[in-house]
Amino acid sequence: MSVNITKAVVPAAGMGTRMRPITSVIPKELLPIGVKPVIHRVLDELAAVGIASVVIVLSPRKPIVREYLDGQRFPMSIAHVYQETPRGLGDAVLCAQEAVGDEPFAVALGDCAVDSPTLGSPLRRLCEAANATGGSAVLCEEVDWERVTRYGVLAPAEAANGTFRLRGIVEKPPQDRAPSNLVVAGRYVLQPEVFDYLERTAPDSKGEVQLTGALAAMIADGRPFSAVRLEAGEERLDIGAFRSYIHAFNVCAQRDLANGEC
């Protein structure tokens, strides 16, 4: 059964410790990539696929993020909820439960853009994959094996071409235990049952509730879960570290120049 995905959660409460000292002054979500802050590009992407309602998960220690969003015009309603203490991505998503309600929703990380020749095309395919099965789906990309320790890593249940089923997912495994070199690319479409799984997910050794843990439990319970690969010309742009931020800025600046936006 096809269900239009009209709601999205944008976690934006992280403290950006790997980007200090600049993030001591400017939240990482407001760092410019090209002519726009990264979170602005995330909302542009959501608008391009018809998302009508967005829940931004904020930190009370970063009021400037809300001030920026309140000063812009976006073609969707925007609500704000707060994660009082940074307790992981899973906890951030759980903070949005009441605002999301009982329907499928997208998750787009607020410090990660997805560049593509057609704005929103990867997220659109992700929504279509979730609709096709009535389950959840995650966007992924292939990385060098030495980088798998930084991400959630997928275990494909079949040939990993285009869209494929998952048999598991593991958070930041050692390289020799990684089930593949396909990693989460900052976008999800989740069924509302994920909130029940998040409530049952124990904090890790850092006291954080990881979204990956809840997703792994869903897959283990036989819930339908697909992955969608980024295609040629598409790229996750991560601003969590200086090297990747510089690359993200250059990619977006070149596209902005080509589009006459600067």
Q: What is the mean pLDDT of residues 80-88?
A: 90
Nearest 5 degrees, angle CA 125-CA 139-CA 32?
100
What confidence tier does 241 reach under pLDDT thresholds 50, 70, 90? confident
Exposed, middle or buried by CB within 10 Å (0-12, 13-18, 19+), for 256? middle
Given a cut of 60, is residue 206 above it in pLDDT? yes
Domain boundaries, the chain: 7-258
Q: What b/e string do you get for 227-254 counting C-beta neighbours within 10 Å, with b at 16 or more?
A: bbbbeeebbbbbbbeeebbebbbebbbe
Give the CA angle between residues 136, 142, 144 to the nearest 5°: 140
Angle between helices 63-70 and 38-48 (to 10 degrees): 50
Quickly count: other Cβ atoms within 10 Å of residue 220's Cβ.
11
φ/ψ (deg, to 5) at 222: 85, 10
- Count of Cβ atoms closer than 10 Å to residue 181 Cβ: 18
Nearest Cα neighbor of 214 from 233, 201, 230, 231 is: 201
Cα 194 from Cα 217, distance rounded (Å): 9
**Tokens, residue 133:** 């099965």
C-alpha separations of 184 from 73, 99, 196 in Å: 30, 25, 21
- 86-97 pLDDT per residue, tens: 889 999 999 999
In the predicted structure, residue 75 carries a pLDDT above the cut 80: yes
Interval 3-24: pLDDT, tens: 589 999 999 988 777 878 888 8
- How many helices (H) and strands (E) the chain has is answered by 8, 13
Please tell me the pTM assigned to this model: 0.93
Peptide bond into 21 cis (omega under 30): yes
Chain segment 29-72, per-residue pLDDT in tens: 999 999 999 999 999 999 999 999 999 999 988 899 999 998 88
- Please tell me the predicted confidence (pLDDT) of residue 3: 53
CATH architecture entry for 7-258? Alpha-Beta Complex (3.90)
* Model confidence band, residue 2 (pLDDT cutoffs 50, 70, 90): very low
- pLDDT at 1 > cutoff 70: no
Question: Average pLDDT of 102-115?
Answer: 95
- From CA 90, how far away is CA 35, in angstroms rounded? 30
